[in-house]
């Protein structure tokens, strides 16, 4: 064994028994480290409540499918707005996502176009939205409903 390697190993063994800051065990506070208060970016008093979703409902819901998957379902809906160019679709849970009388309901919302757009064929205006619903939300659910302005579509278990 070479002398520098032996000296280094000896220094590590000797220093590991010390409470010095050269001891690698003490570099991050060791076993008796005092925890520090961690500052976050969250403002004092917390974040303000999320603003209300002001997107309007889709004109009509044309179809809805429920696709089972591990851990829950994927709720998939197709809607028909009045013109082309609608965007930012979503299925927003009504009642905070809690079922009422065994019915879990969603509102099919979307953003209108920035500029007036033509009224083209129904097929070209279709929009889609999907939402994962975990099994924990489905325990007491007998029916799932997706609603638009003119109609709603439901599926029963």
- Residue 107 has what pLDDT? 96
- Residue 33 has what pLDDT? 52
Is the confidence at residue 137, as pLDDT, over 70?
A: yes
30 versus 107: which is more confidently predicted?
A: 107
In degrees and rounded to multiples of 5, residue 4 shows phi and psi of -65, -40
Mean pLDDT in residue range 103-132: 92
- Residue 40 has what pLDDT? 75
Is the confidence at residue 30, as pLDDT, over 90?
A: no
Is the confidence at residue 20, as pLDDT, over 80?
A: no
- Residue 154 has what pLDDT? 96
**Reported pTM:** 0.67
- Residue 10 has what pLDDT? 73
Which pLDDT band holds residue 29 (cuts at 50, 70, 90)? low
d(CA 23, CA 27): 7
Residues 86-103 have pLDDT tens digits of 999 999 999 988 999 999
């Amino acid at each position: 064994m070479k002398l520098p390697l032996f000296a280094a190993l000896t220094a590590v063994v000797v220093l590991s028994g010390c409470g010095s800051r050269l001891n690698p065990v003490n570099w991050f506070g060791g076993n008796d480290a005092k925890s520090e208060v961690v500052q976050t970016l969250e403002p004092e008093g917390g974040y303000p409540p999320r603003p209300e979703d002001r997107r309007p409902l889709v004109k009509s819901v044309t179809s809805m499918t429920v696709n089972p998957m591990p851990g829950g379902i994927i709720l998939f809906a197709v809607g028909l707005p009045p013109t082309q160019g609608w965007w930012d679709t979503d299925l927003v849970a009504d009642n905070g996502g809690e079922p009422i009388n065994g019915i879990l309901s969603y509102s099919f919302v979307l953003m209108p176009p920035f500029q007036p757009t033509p009224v083209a064929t129904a097929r070209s205006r279709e929009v889609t939205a999907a939402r994962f619903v975990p099994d924990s939300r489905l325990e007491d659910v007998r029916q799932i409903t997706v609603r638009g302005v003119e109609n709603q579509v439901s599926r029963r278990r």
